[in-house]
């Protein structure tokens, strides 16, 4: 239960931090978001997570990249269901 609340809460908080309105957060904003939600990680672990989450290498992370990094891609059943919708 806590995981879902954190994920949805982070999404809302990302929108608040996104002052430019482009849907992207830089490294400092992302680190701040983790602290606000009491998700404290070592600097080494943070850097490793950042490399995974910033999958396009632009130095920013969007909520979609974050969700894919945490949850992963949708399985084929879910993808087909979404396509039907």
* pTM, two decimal places: 0.61
**Distance (Å, rounded) from C-alpha 21 to C-alpha 76?**
32
CA proximity to 30, closest of 10, 44, 3: 10
Tens of pLDDT, residue by residue over 61-83, are 877 777 676 666 777 887 888 88
For the CA atoms of 50, 55, 57, 62, the dihedral, rounded to the nearest 10 degrees, stands at: -80
Largest CA distance in the chain: 43
Tens of pLDDT, residue by residue over 19-35, are 787 878 888 888 888 88
Tens of pLDDT, residue by residue over 40-52, are 889 999 999 888 8
Please, which residues have CB within 8 angstroms of residue 40's CB and are 6 or more apart in sequence? 34
Domain boundaries, given as residue ranges, for the chain = 1-83
Question: Which CATH superfamily does the domain covering 1-83 fall into?
Answer: EF-hand (1.10.238.10)
């Amino acid at each position: 239960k806590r995981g879902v609340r954190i994920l949805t809460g982070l999404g809302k908080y990302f929108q608040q931090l996104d002052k430019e309105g482009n849907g992207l957060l830089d490294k400092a904003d992302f680190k701040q978001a983790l602290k606000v939600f009491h998700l404290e990680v070592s600097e080494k672990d943070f850097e490793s997570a950042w490399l995974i989450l910033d999958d396009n290498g632009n130095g920013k992370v969007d909520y979609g990249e974050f969700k894919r990094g945490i949850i992963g891609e949708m399985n084929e059943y879910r993808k087909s269901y979404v396509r039907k919708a």
